[in-house]
Amino acid sequence: MVKKIIVKNAEEFFLPLIWTGEENEIKYDIDLNKEGSSIKLLMLIIGSNNNWADVDIKITHKKPNTKSSVIVRGVLNDASRINFNGLVKIDKGSALSNAWLAAHLLLTSDMAKGRAVPSLEILENDVKAGHATTVGKIDESEIFYLMSRGIKEKQAKQIIVQGFLQGLLNDFPQSKEKQSALKQIKYAI
């Protein structure tokens, strides 16, 4: 089911999401419906076993001077799969709006699969919008570098995964879900 959110006031709407395998469908349709309103959506994804999910995030800037930031980081272990679609739409009349969409998926196993597709639909001229997506395996040269300093392979991979998530985790509020997600990272690799 799609969750509909309409942001109607000028304070930043903060939406932290965590996925660790429970649901197969995460869908949000978010409208920025007041001048000066903004949303910051953070999503932490930890996939393990053969868990999978489709993630669809749609954000529509409907008023001028609105701001959206979607930041997704996922670590996919074992045979887990994530299919991420992010769409940011800036409607006509929403001048001076600012949109940023980033999704990065790190695969720690040959069986894991990730797909991240960003789309921008911009109908107004005077706006800023950008996106960045990557899907990739842990860099072998990073593993070799850490191992050359006496760190075991398994620990090197954990360090790299922690580093990959660090920026997102710093911005993430403390919660039971966050703690248990972090534990999953440690056990999964």
The residues binding other proteins (CB under 8 A) are: 139-142, 144-153, 156, 159-160, 162-167
What's the token pair of residue 122? 């911009």
Taking the least distance from each CB to other proteins, the nearer of 159 and 182 is 159
Taking the least distance from each CB to other proteins, the nearer of 19 and 164 is 164
What's the token pair of residue 162? 């922690």
Minimum distance from residue 167 beta carbon to other proteins (Å): 6
DSSP letter string, 149-181: TT--HHHHHHHHHHHHHHHHHHHSPP-HHHHHH
Minimum distance from residue 150 beta carbon to other proteins (Å): 4
Taking the least distance from each CB to other proteins, the nearer of 43 and 106 is 106
First to last CA, the chain: 32
Contact in structure between 111 and 78 (CB atoms under 8 Å) = yes
Residues 6+ apart with CB under 8 A from 171: 42, 71
In angstroms, rounded to a whole number, what is the distance separating the alpha carbons of residues 168 and 61?
A: 24
Tell me whether residue 36 is exposed, middle or buried, using C-beta atoms within 10 angstroms of its C-beta: 0 to 12, 13 to 18, 19 or more: middle
Minimum distance from residue 116 beta carbon to other proteins (Å): 18
Taking the least distance from each CB to other proteins, the nearer of 41 and 106 is 106
Minimum distance from residue 139 beta carbon to other proteins (Å): 8
Taking the least distance from each CB to other proteins, the nearer of 30 and 107 is 107
Minimum distance from residue 74 beta carbon to other proteins (Å): 15
